[in-house]
Amino acid sequence: MKLFSPDPPQPPPGPRPSCQCFNGAGQRGQPVPRLHHDVQDTECSAWRNLVGAVERAIRDQPAEFSPLDGLSGPERALIVTLPSTIGQLTAVRKLRLYGSHLSRVPPEIGDMSALEDLDVYTSYRLHYLPFELTRCHRLKDSRMSTRALFGNFKNRGKFPNLLHEDNRAALDAARTSACSVCGVALNGPIFMDRWLTLFVGTDWVPLLATLCSHACIGRLPKPPDGYVPRPHTGGSSINQPAPTR
């Protein structure tokens, strides 16, 4: 018996996700992009409908969940993140976010313990995922638009500089209040953020980790050959292998 439905239909008519982060990617002198600092409007009807859909899924715990279903194209364009309550979807095995306008996913996705399949294909503003996703030990399938990912092997789009003041607000929006590795509460103003690329599902994915100490930085997995060989803070000084296209 087939567990999941076939490929989803095209998103409804409306604006398509896009950005300028990878203009010049793969070329000498390509600019370093900034993190998207999209502020989620939590008062709009689209967000309220999304929250309601997540609440119903928490109650019903379906095997497959498409949280943006039922939103019009213009409404989907208003959704730039997901409610942190998605962590309570502990029975959902496939999460469909095809063609979304998401620019970040909350770290609570790592609490989706049954997750096997993550589809964010053609979500062109989603350039990375939270390190907490590695806690989804059953995750074995994924679908992503490779050329939209930071550091991808096709164009080696540069990683934003995590130490740059311009990225601070976006980082604040993307973090939780706990260390990505040990889970200790982060109560102070100082965070240590790092990029690293790891194999997640069926893709090599740039992940953002927030750490409480240098010891936890040292506990991060080693990235594979063909990518930046250590956790890093991004920026123009990071050397990446040449694109393989």
- From 43-57, 127-141, 181-195, the region with the lowest mean pLDDT: 181-195
Q: Is the dihedral of CA 105, 106, 109, 110 positive or negative?
A: positive
Q: How do residues 29-83 score in pLDDT, each as one tens digit?
A: 788 999 999 999 999 999 999 999 999 999 999 999 999 999 999 999 999 999 9
Looking at the DSSP bridge assignments, the partners of residue 207 are 129, 196
Band the pLDDT of 2: cuts 50, 70, 90: very low
What's the gap between Cα 42 and its chain centre?
Answer: 19
Q: Is the dihedral of CA 33, 39, 40, 41 positive or negative?
A: negative
CB 33 within 8 A of CB 157: yes
pTM of structure: 0.93
Report the candidate in 66, 75, 88 with the shortest Cα–Cα distance to residue 4. 66
